[in-house]
């Protein structure tokens, strides 16, 4: 277990559980590294991967202080390792989402095969509000999933959207009441565990046959993302966040 994330393997299931409930499961570099290493070391004993979160949130996205202390400027950064690992996972990935799912907390779901969400889940992709651009291939995958207009509203405006909207848009596979999230998730995981592993892997490989396109888009996004890390807009957004005020982008063209 790395600090902030619990990673266990039992009965064929690799479980990745965000465990910083006091920080709404915001993700640090150490957490990214631990998750990337776990995903890249999946062997034949693993039937499926399960993402979940402790406390009242799935994940609030990047831990901003940790992120700004060492932003992802080169390919050795743990964040980049994790993002590039997602499309390479050969087994089904399941996510159990409740509370807040922000930034990477939402974009990682685009790589999951089954997303079960509690009715109280709230999603957000606030990249432009931070002076940044989307990551994890979301600028490609989101329009493919829900259509350009819906994706544009979510990525350009960065507004939050409900679990009900997420289900309607196709991001969520199944919507349940909060107290049914765990049993519903375990039911799906149990079915995957009982199915032939080779058939599951082959089926996923067929459905993800264009994953090379996703990897190319991830690299394109990262190139722009790195440029944006030195932008005055990000500095203003981060300063405003830490000062608990609204950012003022009016002076930037």
- What is the extent of the structural domain holding 105? 5-176
SS3 at position 157: helix
110-125 pLDDT, tens digit per residue, is 999 999 999 999 999 9
7-34 pLDDT, tens digit per residue, is 999 999 999 999 999 999 999 999 999 9
What pTM was computed for the model? 0.95
In CATH, what number is assigned to the domain containing residue 42? 3.90.226.10
Rounding to the nearest 10 degrees, give the CA dihedral for residues 175, 179, 185, 187.
Answer: -110
Our count of domains for the chain comes to: 1
The answer to whether residue 66 sits within a structural domain is yes
The answer to whether residue 30 sits within a structural domain is yes
The answer to whether residue 162 sits within a structural domain is yes
The answer to whether residue 226 sits within a structural domain is no
The answer to whether residue 32 sits within a structural domain is yes
Q: In whole angstroms, give the CA distance from residue 247 to residue 237.
A: 5
The answer to whether residue 187 sits within a structural domain is no
SS3 at position 110: helix
């Amino acid at each position: 277990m790395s600090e902030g994330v619990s990673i266990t393997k039992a009965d064929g299931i690799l479980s990745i559980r965000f465990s910083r409930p006091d920080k709404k499961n915001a993700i640090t570099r150490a957490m990214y590294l631990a998750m990337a290493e776990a995903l890249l070391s999946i062997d034949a004993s693993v039937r499926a991967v399960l993402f979940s979160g402790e406390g009242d949130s799935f994940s609030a996205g990047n831990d901003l202080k940790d992120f700004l202390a060492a932003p992802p400027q080169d390919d050795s950064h743990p964040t980049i390792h994790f993002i590039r690992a997602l499309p390479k996972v050969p087994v089904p990935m399941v996510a159990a989402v409740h509370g807040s799912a922000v930034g990477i907390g939402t974009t990682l779901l685009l790589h999951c095969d089954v997303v079960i969400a509690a009715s109280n889940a709230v999603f957000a992709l606030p990249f432009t509000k931070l002076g940044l651009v989307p990551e994890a291939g979301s600028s490609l995958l989101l329009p493919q999933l829900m259509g350009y207009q819906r994706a544009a509203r979510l990525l350009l405006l960065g507004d939050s959207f409900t679990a009900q909207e997420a289900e309607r848009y196709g991001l969520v596979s199944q919507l349940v009441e909060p107290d049914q999230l765990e049993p519903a998730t375990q039911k799906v995981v149990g079915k995957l565990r009982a199915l032939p592993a080779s058939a599951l892997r082959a089926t996923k490989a067929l459905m993800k046959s264009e994953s090379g396109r996703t990897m190319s888009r991830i690299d394109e996004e990262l190139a722009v993302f790195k440029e944006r890390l030195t932008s005055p807009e990000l500095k203003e957004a981060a300063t405003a966040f830490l000062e608990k005020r609204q950012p003022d982008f009016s002076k930037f063209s």
